[in-house]
């Protein structure tokens, strides 16, 4: 593991935030206040945190990973039936080599890479596009009680047809998806409190959001040589992304205030990883920045492949990432909260004083969440 430990830099270990503290104590208790501040600080400093939630069951994640391995091990003709390009792939399957990492085509993003120390840069994405990863989108949505301006982002779910998958699909997706959705929605309350907002500020704004359970799959029979990019350097377009443990290492994240590459290790048990997306960056005026990340084949990925070949010779060799994109409501007016935008300016000044160049300040003109999403989808080649 590469480590650039300079003294002024925060630790390379992601903070662990305990959701149990929030769930089991009154919101006014000092214990809760302190944990919520830690959650907000973690998002500001790292753009990510590890979340402990006793309600989440590792067995549900395992059942989910087994199902998705079986699904993506099917022949491509079968998977193709679940594709919906006319809906910008926002439901059903996206096959490998469709989605481009935004960074490969985006100037500000290349600028971010330039400003990283060469030893901490992601694998070179300039010659790489699109990503050799497949994905399934399963909506985890509560229908809005009002007419939405963005119905296309709220289409019906698709259940795969294969006999060995069909019956267990919806229950498994919904069980694990709900666990992650509840966890991240509650964490949004902790973050709101920690930022000095009402607890339900974000959770209300996201109640009818087009949340997506979005497992990605990489075929490790084809893509297993060292330094293969499975998902190129990028940020997520939604509010917060939550991940369960993957069976294969390979996810790297970049902490905003360190510029260091951090290989993610989610502890065994009731732990999840949460990362900031573009919508939380927008609403906080850049106080919290969307976190950059990549998924690559590293030495530890290869060791795990070799070990699983021996331990589970009959299982498909597919790396599944257990991911849920938590969104704000499509019709929500997206605009920075003024007091957070002011704090964002102070953090930028402080960073500049410490010699950390954050590049040109991003601008966050008022828009609707639905337009912001459409705009981002055009960048990654999913929408014409
Ligand atoms: Fe991502």
* Distance in Å, CA 232 to ligand 1 centroid: 9
- Residue 356 belongs to domain spanning: 16-379
Q: Provide the pLDDT for residue 232.
A: 86
* Distance in Å, CA 238 to ligand 1 centroid: 10
Task: Give a yes or no: residue 2 inside a domain.
Answer: no
* Distance in Å, CA 25 to ligand 1 centroid: 33
* Distance in Å, CA 235 to ligand 1 centroid: 6
Output the domain CATH number for residue 279: 2.60.120.330
Task: Give a yes or no: residue 224 inside a domain.
Answer: yes
* Distance in Å, CA 117 to ligand 1 centroid: 22
Domain count within the chain: 1
* Distance in Å, CA 190 to ligand 1 centroid: 22
- The tokens describing 343, both together, are 């704090």
Q: Provide the pLDDT for residue 1.
A: 38
Task: Give a yes or no: residue 10 inside a domain.
Answer: no
* Distance in Å, CA 251 to ligand 1 centroid: 10
Task: Give a yes or no: residue 7 inside a domain.
Answer: no
Neighbours of ion ligand 1 (CB under 5 A): 236
* Distance in Å, CA 252 to ligand 1 centroid: 11
Task: Give a yes or no: residue 295 inside a domain.
Answer: yes
Q: Provide the pLDDT for residue 131.
A: 75
* Distance in Å, CA 27 to ligand 1 centroid: 32
- pLDDT by residue for the chain (384 residues), tens only, comes to 333 333 345 567 899 999 999 999 998 999 999 999 999 999 999 999 999 999 999 999 999 999 999 999 999 999 999 999 888 788 999 988 766 666 665 667 777 888 888 888 888 776 656 777 899 999 999 988 999 898 765 678 999 999 999 999 999 999 999 999 999 999 999 999 999 999 999 999 999 999 999 999 999 999 999 999 888 888 999 999 999 999 999 999 998 766 788 999 999 889 999 999 999 999 999 999 999 999 999 999 999 999 999 999 999 999 999 999 999 999 999 999 999 999 999 999 988 888 887 878 889 999 999 999 988 877 665 554
pTM of the model: 0.91
Q: Provide the pLDDT for residue 354.
A: 86
* Distance in Å, CA 380 to ligand 1 centroid: 12
* Distance in Å, CA 220 to ligand 1 centroid: 19
Task: Give a yes or no: residue 170 inside a domain.
Answer: yes
Task: Give a yes or no: residue 9 inside a domain.
Answer: no
Q: Provide the pLDDT for residue 110.
A: 79
Q: Provide the pLDDT for residue 154.
A: 60
* Distance in Å, CA 349 to ligand 1 centroid: 28
* Distance in Å, CA 163 to ligand 1 centroid: 31
* Distance in Å, CA 33 to ligand 1 centroid: 30
* Distance in Å, CA 293 to ligand 1 centroid: 7
* Distance in Å, CA 325 to ligand 1 centroid: 9
* Distance in Å, CA 376 to ligand 1 centroid: 13
* Distance in Å, CA 122 to ligand 1 centroid: 14
* Distance in Å, CA 95 to ligand 1 centroid: 16
* Distance in Å, CA 283 to ligand 1 centroid: 19
* Distance in Å, CA 209 to ligand 1 centroid: 18
Task: Give a yes or no: residue 20 inside a domain.
Answer: yes
Q: Provide the pLDDT for residue 106.
A: 66
Phi, psi of 347 (to 5 degrees): -65, -40
């Amino acid at each position: 593991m590469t480590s650039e430990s300079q003294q002024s830099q925060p630790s390379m270990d992601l903070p662990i935030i305990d959701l149990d503290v929030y769930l089991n104590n009154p919101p006014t208790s000092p214990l809760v206040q302190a944990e919520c501040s830690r959650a907000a600080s973690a998002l500001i400093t790292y753009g990510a945190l590890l979340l402990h939630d006793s309600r989440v069951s590792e067995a549900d994640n395992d059942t989910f990973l087994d199902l998705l391995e079986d699904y993506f091990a099917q022949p491509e003709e079968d998977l193709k039936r679940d594709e919906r390009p006319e809906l910008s792939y926002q439901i059903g399957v996206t096959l490998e080599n469709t989605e481009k990492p935004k960074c490969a085509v985006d100037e500000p993003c290349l600028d971010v890479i330039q400003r990283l120390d060469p030893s901490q840069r992601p694998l070179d994405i300039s010659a790489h596009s699109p990503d050799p990863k497949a994905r399934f989108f399963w909506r985890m949505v509560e229908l809005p009680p009002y007419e939405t301006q963005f119905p296309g982002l709220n289409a019906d779910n698709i259940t795969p047809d294969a006999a060995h998958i069909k019956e267990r699909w919806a229950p498994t997706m919904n069980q694990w998806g709900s666990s992650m959705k509840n966890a991240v929605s509650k964490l949004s309350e902790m973050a709101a409190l920690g930022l000095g907002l009402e607890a339900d500020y974000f959770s209300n704004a996201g109640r009818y959001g087009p949340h997506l359970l979005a497992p990605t799959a990489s075929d490790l029979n084809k893509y297993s040589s060292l330094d293969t990019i499975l998902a190129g350097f990028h940020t997520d377009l939604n509010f917060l992304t939550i991940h369960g443990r993957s069976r294969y290492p390979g996810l790297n994240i970049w902490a905003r205030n360190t510029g260091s590459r951090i290989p993610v290790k989610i502890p065994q048990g009731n732990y999840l990883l949460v990362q900031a997306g573009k919508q939380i960056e927008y609403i906080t005026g850049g106080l919290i920045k969307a976190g950059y990340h990549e998924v690559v084949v590293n030495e530890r990925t290869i060791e795990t492949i070799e070990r699983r070949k021996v331990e589970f010779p009959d299982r498909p060799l597919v790396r599944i990432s257990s991911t849920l994109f938590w969104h704000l409501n499509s019709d929500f007016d997206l605009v920075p909260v003024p007091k957070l935008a002011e704090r964002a300016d102070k953090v930028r000044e402080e960073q500049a004083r410490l010699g950390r160049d954050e590049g040109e300040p991003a601008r966050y003109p008022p828009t609707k969440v639905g337009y912001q999403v459409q705009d981002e989808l055009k960048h990654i080649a999913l929408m014409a």
